Structure 1
Amino acid sequence: MKHSRTVAFAALVALALGAAWVWRVQRPAAATPAAAPPAAGAGSNAAPSSERLSGTAATRVPEAPPRDSLRGTDVDGAIRLDANGDPIADRELRRVFDYFLERLGERSPDAIRASLVAWLAQASGLPARAQTRVLELFDAYVDAEREAVALAASGDLQNDLARRAALRRERLGAAVADAWFGADERYADFTLRRLALERDTSLDMAERLARREVLESDLDPAHAESLRESTEFQHATAQTARLDALDADAAQRHAERAAEWGEDAAQRLAQLDTQRAQWRQRLQDYAHERAAIANDASLTAAARDARIEALLASRFDEAERRRVLALAEAGLL
C-alpha cells in the first residue's frame, strides 16, 4: 500500500489521463457478427498465416499467435436490463466496455468492437434489440472519451477536470455520464482539494486536520475506506521507522503498537519485523559470500560468474533473485 498522497495523486492522473487509450480509437465503418473473430471473452483467436518468400518460392509460414492480455479470462462487469428490456447504462456496463478495450495496442479498434459484437451474439444471452443498444452505448462511450482526451490542457487541473466532465454530460447526458464517471470525478475533485489543503501554509495543524475531516466526510464509503487504510499504513510505517531508529526492543515495539493498533495488529507487525530481519540477514550472508567469490584471484572470470550464479540460485527463489539482482545492480547489497 502506498503513501496516501501518492495514491490520491495517482487517482487524479488516472482520471485526467486514464482515457488515453481512446486517442488511438477510430470509429469502425462497419462491424457485424459475421465478420467477428471467435468469442471475445474466451480470448481465443485463430493464428493467421501469411505468404513469405524463401528464395524464389513462396511458402506459407504460420505466424505467431498475437499477444492477448485477456486470454483465459472472463468478461468483467455485467449487462443489466430495465423493465423494458433495455440495457442499463451503469458502472457495470462500463466495466464490460473497459474489459474489451484492454486489448488496445494488441488489436485494432475495429477488431475490438468486432470482439464485443461476437461476445454479445454468442455468450451474452441478450435479445437482438438489447445487443444493438449495447453497441450504441459502446460507440458513444468511445467517442466521448476520445473527445475528452483531445481537450487541450489549460494548466489548471481543476478547470481541465470540469471541462472534461461537462463534455461527457453534453455527449452522453447527465444520467449516463454520472453513472459511468461520477465517482471518479468526485474523487479527483477531492484529491485536488486535499492537495491544496496540504499546501496551504497559512493553516496551523489543528485547522488543517479539521478541514481535512470535513473534506473526507463527503467521500463515498469505498474511497473513504481506501484512504483510511492508506493513511494508517503511512502511520504504521513511520512508527516502525522511529522504533528502528531508537533500536527499540521487542517489548517496547509491542507495547507501543498494541496501544496504537490493538493486540492482533501488534502481533502481525512483530511477525513482519521478524521477516524483515531474516531477509536482511540472508542478504548480508549472500553479499559476504558473493564478495569472497568476486575477490578470489584464483578463479577465471567465467568460473567466478558461474559460482556467483550458483550461489544466488541456492539461496533465493525466482522472485527473490530478481530483487537481489536489482539490489546488486544498484550497488545496495
Structure 2
Amino acid sequence: MTSNKRRFPYGLLIILALVIGVIAVIVWFKPDPSAAEPMTAAVSAADNDSGSSMTAMSDPGKGDEALAPQTSPFTTGLESLPRSLRGTDVDGEIIIDENKQLVVTEGLRRLFDYFLSALGEEDEATIYARVESYIRHHTPEPAASQAVAIFNQYVAYLKAIPDIEKRYGNLQLQATKSGQLDLNAVSQQRQDVAQLRQQFFAQETIVAFFSSEEEYDDYSMEMVRINQNQQLSEAQKQAVRQDYISRMPDNAIKANIEQQANLGELMARTQEMKAKGASPEALYNMRRELVGEAAATRLAQVDQQDANFDQRFQQLQSQKQKVLAQTADKAQAQTQIIQLEKQLFDDAERKRLAGYAALKKNALE
C-alpha cells in the first residue's frame, strides 16, 4: 500500500500562495514530522489493537466538553472507505504516555486531516463517526476521549478560519497588484489566527499542531521582507537570507530549508558552468561541495546518460534527413524512420523523443 499524506483544505496564510519563486518552493519540501519524543507507550495510526469506549473527556487544560459517543455504523473506522482513501495507509499517529494519557503531536493533526480530506465524498456526520470509531478502536481510555475532544475542537477551528481569510483576502489582492506583499496585513492576519487558536485549544495542542507551521511562516515572511527591500543588492539579499537561515534552530525544518537553498544554488551554478563549457570534473566538485558525494555521483551519471541520449538523438536526426531526402514515398520514409528510432532507442526512451525535439528546437530559436 502506498503512503498517503493529506491535508484538509483549511486556509492558513495567503502568503504561501502569493510570494514569489524563492518562497513558493516551501510547500514542496515542507517536512512531515511524524516522530514524537520517546514515550513509554505509543499507539500508531496503523496499530490494530483496540481500546475501550468511555465517557468523552476534554482537551487537557481546557474546560470544553467533547461530544458523548454516539451510535456508530463503524467499528474500526476503516470500513467502506471513500474512493480517495482506498489503497492508502492511514497517515498520522496517536501517542499515549505510561498512564494512558494522550500525548498531543503533529501526527494527531495529520490523522484528523487524513479523514477530513474525504469531505465532499462523505458528509460531516459520517466522517465524524469514522474518526471517533477509529480513535476509540485503536486507543485506550482516557487518551481516546481526549483525542475525540481535540478532534471536535479542531473541526470547529477549521470552520472559523475562513472568516479571518475573508477579512484579509481583498487587502492581500490589492497589495499584490504592485508586486509587493503587504507584510503588515499578513502580520495582523497571523495575530488573528493565533488568537483564534487560543480560543479552541490548550497551549500544548497549539504547540504540537502549529509550531512547525509557524516556523515556516516566519521564514516565509522574512524572505519576502528581504526580497522587497529595495536598499539591498541581490548579493546583499542573498547574504541576509543565508544569515537568517544560519540563526534558525537546528532542527528538521532548518535542514530542509538549507537543502532546498542548496538545490536552488545547485541548479543555477550547474546551468552557468555548463554554459561556459565546464568539465565533468569541475561540475562534480561543485556538486559535491553543495549536496555531497553521493548526490554528485548520481548527477554525474545523469549527465553521462543525457549526453549519450543526445548523441543518439543527433544521429537519428542526421539519418532521418537522409531518409527524407532519398525516399519519395512518405509512408515508406516514415516506416524507415520508425525502424531507426527502434534501433537507437528503447521503448521508454522513444517516448521522450517528441518532447526532447521540441526542447532542442526552442533552444535554437
**TM-score bucket of the superposed structures, by smaller chain:** 0.5 to 0.7
Cα distance in 2 between the residues matched to 1:328 and 1:31? 62
Q: Is the 8 A contact 2:92 2:107 kept in 1?
A: yes
Find 2:256's aligned residue among 205, 222, 226.
Answer: 226
- Note closer, same or farther for the CA distance 1:309–1:100 as it changes in structure 2 (3 Å cut): farther
Q: Is the 8 A contact 1:8 1:191 kept in 2?
A: yes
Q: State the percentage of identical aligned residues.
A: 25
Matched, 1:147 2:160: yes
Pairwise mapping of residues 105-116 of structure 1 onto structure 2 (< 5 A)?
105-116=120-131
Matched, 1:272 2:302: yes
Give 2:151's aligned residue: 138
- Note closer, same or farther for the CA distance 1:263–1:168 as it changes in structure 2 (3 Å cut): closer
Cα distance in 2 between the residues matched to 1:116 and 1:248? 57
Cα distance in 1 between the residues matched to 2:122 and 2:316? 45
How far did 1:226 drift?
0.8
Pairwise mapping of residues 1-333 of structure 1 onto structure 2 (< 5 A)?
6=21, 8-11=23-26, 32=70, 34-36=72-74, 39-41=76-78, 44-45=79-80, 67-68=83-84, 70-82=85-97, 84-122=99-137, 124-127=138-141, 129-151=142-164, 152=166, 153=169, 154-155=171-172, 156-204=185-233, 208-209=237-238, 211-216=240-245, 217-219=247-249, 221-254=251-284, 266-284=296-314, 298-299=329-330, 315-317=345-347, 324=353
Could you report, residue by residue, the CA deviation over 1:40-79 in whole angstroms, capped at 9, with x for unpaired residues? 44xx528xxxxxxxxxxxxxxxxxxx523x3233322221
Secondary structure of 1:80's counterpart equals strand
Cα distance in 2 between the residues matched to 1:308 and 1:34? 61
Q: Is the 8 A contact 1:33 1:117 kept in 2?
A: no
Amino acid at match of 2:102: P
Cα distance in 2 between the residues matched to 1:104 and 1:293? 58
Could you report, residue by residue, the CA deviation over 1:69-101 in whole angstroms, capped at 9, with x for unpaired residues? x32333222212346533233212112112222
Q: Is the 8 A contact 1:32 1:117 kept in 2?
A: no
Name the TM-score, length of structure 2 as normaliser: 0.63
Give 2:6's aligned residue: none
Amino acid at match of 1:298: D
The runs of 5 or more residues in structure 2 that have no matched partner are: 1-18, 31-66, 173-184
Cα distance in 1 between the residues matched to 2:250 and 2:162? 26
Cα distance in 2 between the residues matched to 1:202 and 1:196? 12
Name the TM-score, length of structure 1 as normaliser: 0.68
- Paired residues, what number? 290
How far did 1:193 drift?
1.0
Could you report, residue by residue, the CA deviation over 1:219-267 in whole angstroms, capped at 9, with x for unpaired residues? 4511111111112122222222122112233344445556776766554
- Note closer, same or farther for the CA distance 1:245–1:172 as it changes in structure 2 (3 Å cut): same
The runs of 5 or more residues in structure 1 that have no matched partner are: 16-28, 47-65
